[in-house]
Amino acid sequence: MDRTSEQQSSGGRRVRLYRCEGVVLRRRDFGEADRLLTLMTDEYGKIRAIAKGTRRTKSRMGGHLEPFARTNLLIARGRNLDIVTQAQVVVPMSNLRQSESAILYASHWAELADQLMAEEQENRPAYLALIRALTSLDHQRDAALTSRIFEWAILAAAGFQPELFTCTGCGRRIEPGENGISFQSGGVLCPECHAREPQSSAISTDVLRILRVISRGDGEQLFGRSVGSATYGEVERILIDYLRSIVERDLHAYRILKGFDGFQEPVTP
């Protein structure tokens, strides 16, 4: 639906309304009874909107605006901030709310989407990646592997995915060997360029292979496959360090997740 479409209000005043599907990435109290929401939507990208009265106990809409739920929304275009006028949960993602570690994983993904996505710019690949990750978590699939798949997908949707097939130093095709990866150059280096780049770190053939599988959109193949925990741990380190270099700040939810007693370390599926 066209975001600028107009509908007649009950008082005769014309207001601009738009419908979309979205996920609440974060929310904070606003005024006496409202909430300010950051939403990732299917058609309009990341937007911020006010949900009026949703902190009141009797609010009918408040229960439909829980973080991480997949929700249909009707939003009015405001002068400064848009206003959520209707909300209806499509998929509540209620299973993931039963686990503290699952909530922390979802919070990590929401933080990444908030940091990497520009406001009011449609990015359907990012939205679909978030929905797939939350659905996987809600179905209680391997959270660590799901996180690696999402981390790559959100980097790609933002245009920051590292180069894995061509040396970012000399342009030669990457072959198995003592290759490296450099966050400064944006991807993998051949052995010769790796040796000349002091800020690069080694990347094993197994880790590069897994990253390539994920980069092709074939990460689902890794569920149930026997892969060593050390290899998955290295994939995690590379993606998290790369994300930190892009957002240029700490990943707060990830840091809390790593310190959580129930944290799920990468394991052999």
How far, in Å, CA of 227 to CA of 145, rounded?
Answer: 11
User: Which of 61, 238, 215, 196 shows the shortest CA–CA distance to 149?
Assistant: 215
Q: Summarize pLDDT for 73-122 with one digit per residue, the tens.
A: 999 998 889 999 999 999 999 999 999 999 999 999 999 999 999 999 99
The answer on pLDDT for 124 being more than 80 is yes
DSSP 88: E
Can you spell out the DSSP letters for 126-191? HHHHHHHHHHHHHTT--HHHHHHHHHHHHHHHTT-PPB-SB-TTT-PBP-SSS-EEETTTTEEE-H
User: Which of 131, 155, 146, 130 shows the shortest CA–CA distance to 215?
Assistant: 155
How far, in Å, CA of 96 to CA of 47, rounded?
Answer: 24
Domains of the chain from N-terminus onward: 6-91 (2.40.50.140), 95-259 (1.20.1440.120)
130 or 58, greater pLDDT: 130
How large a percentage of the chain has pLDDT more than 90? 81
180-182 β-sheet, strand order: 187-189, 180-182, 201-202
The answer on pLDDT for 9 being more than 50 is no
pLDDT at position 4: 45
pLDDT at position 239: 96
Mean pLDDT, the chain, whole residue set: 90
- Residue 91, helix vs strand vs coil: strand
Give residue 57's pLDDT band: very low, low, confident or very high (50, 70, 90): confident
pLDDT at position 6: 42
How far, in Å, CA of 261 to CA of 255, rounded?
Answer: 12
Q: Which residues pair with 38 in a beta bridge?
A: 26, 48
pLDDT at position 22: 97
Kindly list the distances between the CA atom of residue 151 and the CA atoms of 108, 116, 196, in Å, as whole numbers in the listed order: 10, 11, 29
pLDDT at position 15: 53
pLDDT at position 106: 98
- Asked if residues 143 and 102 have their Cβ atoms less than 8 Å apart, the reply is yes
Lowest pLDDT segment from 163-177, 218-232, 250-264: 250-264
pLDDT at position 226: 78
The answer on pLDDT for 268 being more than 70 is no
pLDDT at position 18: 94
Q: Summarize pLDDT for 201-225 with one digit per residue, the tens.
A: 999 999 999 999 999 999 999 998 8
How far, in Å, CA of 166 to CA of 200, rounded?
Answer: 15
The answer on pLDDT for 70 being more than 60 is yes
